[in-house]
Structure 1
Amino acid sequence: MNLPVKTRSPHLVDTSTIPGWGVDADPENDPTYPIRDQSQDRGLTRNWDRPLVQNLDVEVLQSVEHVRQPAVVGTSTPPSGVSGLMRRAAFRWSESNWLHWLILMGADRVNVVEGVVDDLAHARIPNIPGEMGIRSELKFNKRGFARKAAVVGLVSAIAVGLAARRRAAKPGRIEGQR
């Protein structure tokens, strides 16, 4: 096996040493030839008309780097609640700013809590272990599942112990009384 030759920068690699790199660079060696007629337009840049922009009936957040919306956007979960406020705030910064992504990750976590609260408000008990993929975890990562279960058990035991100690330490409490 040929390993890539390192160049001056540790992050750059000499691509000529990578087997198979650039196999599709030669237009005469086009793997899609039987599917596409070679005499026709070979790319989207020559004779390509921009598709019509999707009509939007929900709010879609857009990066500050882009002047216009893409032709098609996902509208299944528009921003709402506290997580929506966080997402709107995140899109004030460029995608190259780490704060943009940090706020979006936080908004994802807040959205999970909002979903659980919404389920409980509609008298539905969420299946949190099932939604977190417990079956897959048991099937493909038994050791990781055991580790997570041990941590949850330890944290729960500590919480119960601290609560019991706090109840027992209340002043004026008579032994055996609740």
Structure 2
Amino acid sequence: MEPTTNPSQLPGWGIDNDPDNDPTYPMRQRHADDPRGYTWERPTQQVADVEILMSIERPNLPAVFGTSVPPSGLSGMIRRIAFKYGESDYRHWLPLLLADRVNVVEGVLDDLAHGQVPNIFAEKGYKIEWKYDRTGLIIKLATAAALVGGAVVLLSSKSKKKGKIRSAS
């Protein structure tokens, strides 16, 4: 069989060209009670027994969703703020990135509070990185150490300055 050069002869080509048969078009004009564009039977709705954060651009909850880690703590508060904005807004995505990093710290603190020391070296995959990209790992760890060290020096110098001002009065 010789290769096809005309894309219209490929199986399935142009299947998404019809806006009447595209469930994502026009999503902005769709409401919860407006089934236009849906060409399938909607699965049975999963019961929401935990808080579900949902995009303001979606008219209803998805049929199924994850419930194993509902939003909580500081990262949950940041996520709630993020979901007040649309998915095309950086005020939605940047806080979600921050919330992920805060959640990592919350997880480590939770482990320590329960008497468990996390094995960060193993969890981050540094053993494999040491095996296959030793130089990259050394650079990454040195950069992290320099950033942490710089933050410690900066914070300690600020606290010393505050101490001098307090003792002078």
Comparing 123-132 with 92-101, greater Cα deviation is found at 123-132
- What 5-or-longer segments of structure 2 have no aligned partner? 15-36, 158-169
Match of 1:25 among 6, 12, 16: 12
Residue 135 (str. 1) matches residue 127 (str. 2)? yes
Which portions of structure 1, spanning 4 or more consecutive aligned residues, are displaced by more than 4 angstroms?
19-22, 152-160
Match of 1:70 among 54, 62, 68: 62
- The 3 A distance-change label for structure 1 pair 64 and 127 is same
Residue in 2 that maps onto 1:33: none
Cα pair 2:78 2:99 within 8 Å, conserved: yes
Residue in 1 that maps onto 2:42: 50
Higher RCO, 1 vs 2 (CA within 8 Å, ≥6 residues apart): 2
- TM-align CA RMSD: 3.0
- The 3 A distance-change label for structure 1 pair 65 and 154 is closer
Residue 125 (str. 1) matches residue 117 (str. 2)? yes
Q: Which letter does structure 2 place at the counterpart of 1:24?
A: P
Q: Which letter does structure 1 place at the counterpart of 2:66?
A: G
**Mapping of residues 20-169 of structure 1, within 5 Å:** 23-25=10-12, 46=39, 48-152=40-144
Residue in 1 that maps onto 2:22: none
Bigger helix share: 2
Question: Deviation of residue 148 (structure 1)?
Answer: 2.2
In 2, the alpha carbon distance for the partners of 1:136 and 1:59 equals 37
TM-score normalised by the chain length of structure 1: 0.61
Q: Percent identity?
A: 46
Q: Which letter does structure 2 place at the counterpart of 1:25?
A: G
Aligned residues between the structures: 128
- The 3 A distance-change label for structure 1 pair 89 and 156 is closer
Comparing 91-100 with 140-149, greater Cα deviation is found at 140-149
Deviations, residues 14-40 of structure 1 (Å, cap 9, x unaligned): xxxxx785633359xxxxxxxxxxxxx
TM-score normalised by the chain length of structure 2: 0.64
Question: Deviation of residue 99 (structure 1)?
Answer: 1.1
Structure (1 or 2) with the larger CA radius of gyration: 1
- SS in structure 2 of the partner of residue 112 of structure 1: helix
